[in-house]
Structure 1
Amino acid sequence: MSPLRLAVFTGLSMLAFTGNALICRAALLGGSIDAASFTALRLLSGALMLWLIVWLRGLQRRAAAPSPRASCLSGLVLFAYAAAFSYAYARVPAGAGALILFAAVQTVMIGYGFYRGERFIPLQWLGLLLAYGGLLALMLPRAGAASASSPTPFAYAMMLLSGGAWGVYSLLGRRGGDPRLVSAHNFLYALPFALLLSLVMLWLEAPQWGREGVLYALLSGAGASALGYIVWYSALPALKATTAASVQLSVPLMTALGGIVLLSEPFTLHFLLVSLAIVGGLALVIFSKSRRVAKSGLRP
């Protein structure tokens, strides 16, 4: 892949990840669709788009399909990410949600690295302490800031669950195979779980299917999710691990900016400081690891 194409693909995928957060927040903030219906439509439209691409490219004939067991596990984790994402963004602002999601994803990655025997140098521990301190400051209630519209502990917990599930989904995706075909199977296997959630929620609340909410769900699934994943996984093999991790630092910042500009979310000094702490702390962890690997003569 040429450097220009790689840069374009990487930039488009970051915009898609940012768009997912903004689209979901806009749909649920407006109240034109409920979280369960948004999740189901997002996964359904994503599955249809991915299988259309698989069919047009003839991938089912040229690539080995993943095992049903692997697809079922990945589908369950994908559903957990999407459902928790929707329920969280019903109450959490776009920028704050993206910061929490990103921190949770990196926590899973860091935990997996520790499980594999990786250990931190003092500078990485400092970065981790800074990031988690910022995350705690973001989620703790502040004096004078409480209101009926403030995020609840449940909403924050859902976003942490969503980020953790996405981290696990990313680790499961390292098993190999054509990412388009694997993603198509994963979305397909996630659909029964989404349908079950929708049926359960029928007992608790009436579904909402406003035109704007349905359109947002379709854009999120077929566009930002399905096409975004394909573009990202096309660029990922050509990126160094550190580069891939560092470019993702842009997503919570772009999401916060989009929330301010497009969704009229407030910009405060408190949010700026916790954003710098979380993103800066995680950047310190990533780049300290990069320098350590470079000194050892290995390719990060």
Structure 2
Amino acid sequence: MRLLALSALVMVAFAANSLLNRAAVGGGLIEALPFALIRVTAGALVLAALARAWPGRANLLPALWLTLYLVGFSLAYRALDSGIGALILFAGVQVTMLAGAVMGGEQPPARRFWGAGLALAGLAGLLLPGADAVPALPPALLMGAAALGWGLYSLAGRRAADPLQATAANFLLATPMVALACLPAGLGDIAPMGWVLAIVSGAVTSGLGYALWYAVLPQLGAARAAAAQLTVPVIALAAGAMLMGERLSSGAVLACAVVLAGVALATLPRRR
């Protein structure tokens, strides 16, 4: 029961990142890139404290992928609803990791390719005019870039000897990269609640959420971890509808179902 409760808490934290980002950036409380900068800075400080040591040598490439995720994620939520954004992100990450595994010499079973194809078909359905889910192509492409960044970051993280130390180091290294992206426009006007939402997203739902995920992941195992992550877009869709008044058309609901079915086929193990 304790493991189930902790796992559920982590999934809520992951979904909350989408809700917080959408509420802050989509609500005009803060610009997208300053939100990303405050988020990564708060997350870096919390993760460094949790690691109980200043992280040592870090690899530049994973930090670069993390920066791509953070920047694309925030920019996409200027227009996307929280649930749709989480769905595009989650499906894109699975497809990216599958492609990375193949390029790395692995031979995934055929059902993973079928699942990835089904998820991509569902994502294409979200872009159809009748679905009324994605206002324009650029926000979807930005979230696709975020998915690519997080997928590559996750692939790189599989080789980390100490995941918590590595994550803290990557967040610290990504902070100046995100700051560079903010330089052309500056921080701009930030409402007090914009600061609060960005700090909570970085320190709590990202920093503490990722640390808790590393703690429960070994106990869950790969199969249950994959199943648990399937709930993240569902939580984001439901919370976005209840808390933020986001609505989905019947076409969008069908496309979402296709995406989730494809991701489930690609990630969940086949029963013997």
TM-score (normalised: structure 1): 0.84
* Alignment partners' CA distance in 1, 2:28 and 2:149: 25
**What is aligned with 1:91?**
79
* Alignment partners' CA distance in 1, 2:239 and 2:8: 15
**What is aligned with 2:24?**
27
Does structure 2 conserve the Cα–Cα contact (< 8 Å) formed by 1:37 and 1:208? no
**Residue pairs, 1:1-300, within 5 angstroms:** 4-55=1-52, 59=53, 67-68=57-58, 70=59, 72-115=60-103, 116-121=105-110, 123-142=111-130, 145=132, 151-202=135-186, 207-287=188-268, 290-291=269-270
Q: Percent identity?
A: 37
Q: Structure 2 regions of 5+ residues with no counterpart?
A: none
| Aligned-pair CA distance for 1:160 | 0.3
Structure having the higher Rg: 1
TM-score (normalised: structure 2): 0.93
> Cα deviation per residue 1:120-142 (whole Å; 9 max; x = unaligned)?
33x54443332221110102333
* Alignment partners' CA distance in 1, 2:56 and 2:82: 34
Equivalent position SS for 1:142: helix
* Alignment partners' CA distance in 2, 1:286 and 1:198: 36
> Cα deviation per residue 1:169-228 (whole Å; 9 max; x = unaligned)?
1111112233222221111101111111111223xxx71211111110000000100000
Letter in 1 for 2:95: T
Does structure 1 conserve the Cα–Cα contact (< 8 Å) formed by 2:94 and 2:116? no
**What is aligned with 1:298?**
none
Equivalent position SS for 2:80: coil
Does structure 2 conserve the Cα–Cα contact (< 8 Å) formed by 1:102 and 1:252? yes
Does structure 1 conserve the Cα–Cα contact (< 8 Å) formed by 2:100 and 2:152? no
* Alignment partners' CA distance in 2, 1:183 and 1:10: 19
* Alignment partners' CA distance in 1, 2:135 and 2:221: 36
Equivalent position SS for 2:184: helix
Does structure 2 conserve the Cα–Cα contact (< 8 Å) formed by 1:66 and 1:177? no
Query: Relative to 1, partners in 2 of residues 1:166 and 1:125: Cα closer, same or farther, differing over 3 Å?
Result: closer
What RMSD, in angstroms, separates the aligned Cα atoms of the two structures?
1.9
Q: Structure 1 regions of 5+ residues with no counterpart?
A: 296-300
